[in-house]
Amino acid sequence: MNMPPPLLVFTDLDGTLLSHTSYRWDAATQALDTLRDIGAALVIASSKSAPEIIEIRAQLGWTNCPAIIENGAGILPPESTDTPNTDTYVRLRRVLDSLPADLRDPFCGFGDMTVAQIAHITGLSHSGASNAAERAFSEPGIWSGSAQLRTTFIDALHNHGIHAREGGRFLTLSYGRTKADQMAALTDGFGARHTLALGDAPNDIEMLQAADFGVIVANPHRNPLPPMPGEGTGRITRTTLAGPAGWNTAVLDLIARLNLNKG
């Protein structure tokens, strides 16, 4: 029987473990290596699609851990290299296209874009954008209408059981499961001594609050998250450095704080 890990880490990707501009994680290499050395587990929790996560998880070397995909709408099991087979995305798009034109037209989802357009707005390569377009559960997109009409749009979708969540780049539509929902089940399964969550966007707030320790990673490309309960006690902290550099420092600091690198 495997021993429970001393630390279970849940991490967002874009603007957190990955650089907002380059999508690289090199600056977090020391912390990633240290997590492996102490026997920790790392669960990616991102709005990215299964093909994107499959590739990134393999490159990071954490295929032995599950991942939370599409903003919490689904789970990618350990070692899996297959996109979940589901009709959820088709149903979601059908509801979206049934909205009145004045609500539908200002929202441009990935399903409305070509691969080249997705590459342009994300900065991904053509193959990366192609992976991002392969959705199973949710629809990221850009809202170009007024704030008032956006509220009406979100309310109309909510009547069909579809929820909208603001991420680091996009407004993402799904049937409501969140990163925190998936996190709760995985936490029970791992039985880790401590849990840590790191993120930079509004769709990470529930995850940050649910962990034993939360880290708000600085992202100069977006407005900072508002003050959160737990910041006054040090349960939730903020990084000064942005992206993977901030991630690296925060993880190493917590490992030292909990004396986990001393066995």
Residues noted as catalytic: 12
For residue 76, what are its two tokens? 């990618």
CA 26, CA 245: separation in Å to the nearest integer? 8
CA 92, CA 139: separation in Å to the nearest integer? 8
CA distances from 163 to 159, 185, 219, 237, 252 (A): 9, 21, 25, 28, 35
111 — phi, psi (to 5°)? -70, -15
CA 117, CA 124: separation in Å to the nearest integer? 10
The torsion defined by the Cα of 176, 221, 251 and 228, in degrees rounded to 10, comes to -60
For residue 79, what are its two tokens? 């070692």
